[in-house]
Structures are given as C-alpha cells and as structure tokens.
Chains A and B, each alone.
Chain A
Amino acid sequence: KQEVTQIPAALSVPEGENLVLNCSFTDSAIYNLQWFRQDPGKGLTSLLLIQSSQREQTSGRLNASLDKSSGRSTLYIAASQPGDSATYLCAPLGAGGTSYGKLTFGQGTILTVHP
C-alpha cells in the first residue's frame, strides 16, 4: 500500500525566500506524481504533473523534481509571496497493486508567507 510523507508539516517564512517542500513515497511503481495547492475552504488546484519518465517540471516560480527509484519528489518555490500561502499536497499515481489508478495523498505542508 502506497504511503506518502511530506516534510515539513508546516513552514512560516518571510516574503522573498526560496522554499523547498519534500515528499517521499513508499511504492516506486507510479505513473506520475502531481503537486496540488489547497486554499482554506477550497478544492485542490493542480500545480505540476511529472511523468514517471521525467526528472523535472517547471511552471513559473515553481519547479518540481522526481526521483522515482528513491521515492522522492521536491517542490521548489522561488521568491515566495504572501499569495503562495496555502497547503501543498503531493500525490503519486499508483501503477500497481492496491494503489493502481489512484492518487495517494500526503498530509500536506502548510505554508505561510508573511509580508
């Protein structure tokens, strides 16, 4: 069964810092991995999707890396802004066993960027 751990659980930083959010997963049999943000009282917004064959994906100030064999993904946020404050979730898509076809979510990293 896939298990996903995100570190840190919470992060509070001043505006302008470059940030690193970590995600680890136990089952490397995945099709892809998706990063989402969730704002309070809202649904999830997809940020980046990395295919299992890819090492990296970039969108604006966001960059996500994937090391499938070691079960790790990292989300980098450059020049953080108060508007980046949200919960960030990573979710690998299972390619085998009981996790097949499902996104398994971590508990998330709660990010607060203060002015």
Chain B
Amino acid sequence: GAGVSQSPSNKVTEKGKDVELRCDPISGHTALYWYRQRLGQGLEFLIYFQGNSAPDKSGLPSDRFSAERTGESVSTLTIQRTQQEDSAVYLCASSLVPSYQGNTIYFGEGSWLTVV
C-alpha cells in the first residue's frame, strides 16, 4: 500500500472485553513498531518487530498486552480484559530496514481506543 494502514480507526469497548488492533505496514518494510499515545501525553514505545520476531517488547505495559506479526507483513496488537487506562490512540509505524540503519520511520493514522 501507499502508507501504513491501521484498523479499526475507532473502537469503543466495554471494560473487561478483549480487543484486536491491526496494522498493515508499507509493502517491503521489514521493521514494524507499535506506540501508544494517551490523551495529552507523549508517545510511549510498546514493541518492535524485525521480520516476524520481536527483539524488543520491553514497552508492553502488562501481560494483558501481546502482539504478533506474520508473513513479515501484518501485525496484530491484542489487549485482553481491557481497562479504562488502556484508552489511547495506538500508533503503528514501519521502516524499510531497522531504524537504527538510518531510514525514515512512517506512521499510520492510529487506532483510537475508548474503554467504557
């Protein structure tokens, strides 16, 4: 695709339910990142994929959060037993090679999650 695509763009869920957020990176991009931005706050790193493996998942806030990537393409971020503090916009980004090799990182428009 032309850019990083995320779905759903908006999700309202009840506390305690599970949610899945999807990210389609730019075709051919091997590196994929998930960030979270709570209202009025900065971006927090969640997890980084190189290919299908996750060398750095240190930012996942609890064991309710998990992510996977398949086919070196689509990634899914799953939040189990959602809580109100999970309300945020979840941003996905990708780059051609791992970003430490100096390539630009491109962001999607985010999935806005509201837990009521």
Contacts and interface: CB of A to CB of B under 8 A. Distances in A.
A49 B100 contact: no
Interface string A89-109: 101010100101111111110
Interface residues of A, number: 25
B100 A101 contact: yes
Given A34-B104, A93-B100, A101-B99, A44 B91 contact: yes
A102 B56 contact: yes
Contacts, number: 61
Interface in B9-51: 33, 35, 41-43, 45, 48
A83 interface: no
Interface residues of B, number: 26
B105 interface: yes
Given A89-B43, A102-B45, A104-B45, A43 B110 contact: yes
B100 A107 contact: no
Interface string B72-116: 000000000000000000010100001111101111111000000
A31 B102 contact: yes
B100 A103 contact: no
A31 B43 CA distance: 19
Given A46-B105, A98-B58, A104-B45, A93 B99 contact: yes
Given A101-B56, A103-B99, A46 B43 contact: no
Residue among A44, A89, A95 with max Cβ neighbours from chain B (10 Å):
A44
Given A45-B107, A103-B43, 5 more contacts: A93-B100, A103-B33, A103-B45, A107-B42, A108-B42
